[in-house]
Structure 1
Amino acid sequence: MEFNKKIYGGHHGARKFWREMLPRIKFRNPAIPIEISRHEQAEGPSLLHIYTTAFPPDTSTNPATKAPTPPSSTPNAQNTLTPDTAKPEHTIDIRSMSELTILEQLIAKTGAEVIEMTPEEQEEWEEVQKFKETSERDRQTVRDKLMRERHEQELMRIARGDAA
């Protein structure tokens, strides 16, 4: 995946996909090598390259020829199983796409299976959502209280004749 470091020039969806969707994909698929390339040019490319032939052939039936497990993370390009000379099987231009559209394109191109949340994960998700709602209400309450205090201080300053 390659995109601009900033959101300008249509790279917003790519950045959100990288921050929100890619960690979830990596969590469910730890053996898939992922490489991210971020550049400085707003007019530069915003592409998602999909390599489906990066892994060696399946040798799980014969333990003597079993290939090593791919790394769970890709700290640098030298550790990925994607060869530099290999041509990607699919390339998606993700400029000006939303993160959900990018995910849909990725699923369509790879034929990936969408995994539904387990009941435990669903409960955890609902708990996090309730926490976020409560946090927002609390933030608004604190903000309102602070604004009232500042307004009262301003009125007291005007009443004392300290206003400029």
Structure 2
Amino acid sequence: MVNIIKRMRKLRAKVKQPATISLLLWIRNGPGAIQLPKEVTKISVEFHKKLIGSHHRGARHFWHEILPRIKYRNPTVPISVIRHDDPTGPAYLHIYTSPKSSASQTMNTPSTGNAPPEPNNSSTPDTSKPTHTVDIKTLHESEILEALVEKTGAVLVQTPPEEAQEMSEIEEFKERSEKDRVEVREKLMKVRREEELLRLARGEVPNAA
């Protein structure tokens, strides 16, 4: 029992520190945790600033949920995000590569960044042409990631078993905590209803507002 209590306290401490452990686990693992080949020199995503129906939804989610992991795993690869003002404008994923060499692929060291790449509002256009351009206007974020992996030959980074277990335990603890909060709230409401019925039975009339 003592060991269980200690483990629950440890999990509770992890959940209360999202900027450290929980966030680090989030950015290290999951969709977007890929290793790009060294030939990939740049990635650029463009889409409309606002959500227009189902259009641009996947691109926006790709920016918020997946690009941070790509950047973490590939800190030397520039990633730009361009959000334009044209509601009927395009949404593209641009992939820039250099000619392949006979050298082996290099593995980038993960950085400590944890925020989505900032939009690039520079007025100086990039004159180089992308090797691949994918229309992502109506694609789901998972489909955009699949296209990126297919075009580049990126390698998926497997989640270490101990981190997978840790993430699962934290998620279970969060779900359990939410269930406990709901139960406590329901019990409190039940007590208040019973107290109100008791006052009515005694003939006590609530004061008018």
Cα deviation 1:124-161 (Å, max 9, x = unaligned): 2212321332243245335545765787799889x847
What is the number of equivalent residue pairs in this alignment? 146
Aligned to 1:36, the other structure's residue is in SS state strand
Runs of 4+ in 1 over 3 A off after TM superposition: 72-79, 138-157, 159-164
Once the two structures are TM-superposed, the CA of residue 4 in structure 1 deviates from its matched residue by: 2.0
- In the alignment, residue 85 of structure 2 is paired with which amino acid? E
Q: Are positions 1:19 and 2:55 aligned together?
A: no
Distance (Å, rounded) in 2 between the aligned partners of 1:144 and 1:22: 40
Partner of 1:134: 176
Q: Are positions 1:2 and 2:42 aligned together?
A: no
Once the two structures are TM-superposed, the CA of residue 122 in structure 1 deviates from its matched residue by: 1.1
- In the alignment, residue 58 of structure 2 is paired with which amino acid? G
Gaps of 5+ in 2: 1-44, 104-111
1:1-150 equivalence runs, <5 A: 1-9=45-53, 10-53=55-98, 84-141=126-183, 144=186
Assess if the C-alpha contact under 8 Å between 2:91 and 2:136 holds in 1: yes
Structure with higher strand content? 2
Q: TM-score, normalised by structure 1?
A: 0.68
Distance (Å, rounded) in 2 between the aligned partners of 1:111 and 1:128: 32
- In the alignment, residue 136 of structure 1 is paired with which amino acid? E
Distance (Å, rounded) in 2 between the aligned partners of 1:154 and 1:102: 56
Distance (Å, rounded) in 1 between the aligned partners of 2:166 and 2:189: 34
- In the alignment, residue 94 of structure 2 is paired with which amino acid? H
Distance (Å, rounded) in 2 between the aligned partners of 1:75 and 1:145: 46
Q: TM-score, normalised by structure 2?
A: 0.55
- In the alignment, residue 5 of structure 1 is paired with which amino acid? K
Once the two structures are TM-superposed, the CA of residue 52 in structure 1 deviates from its matched residue by: 1.1
Partner of 2:17: none
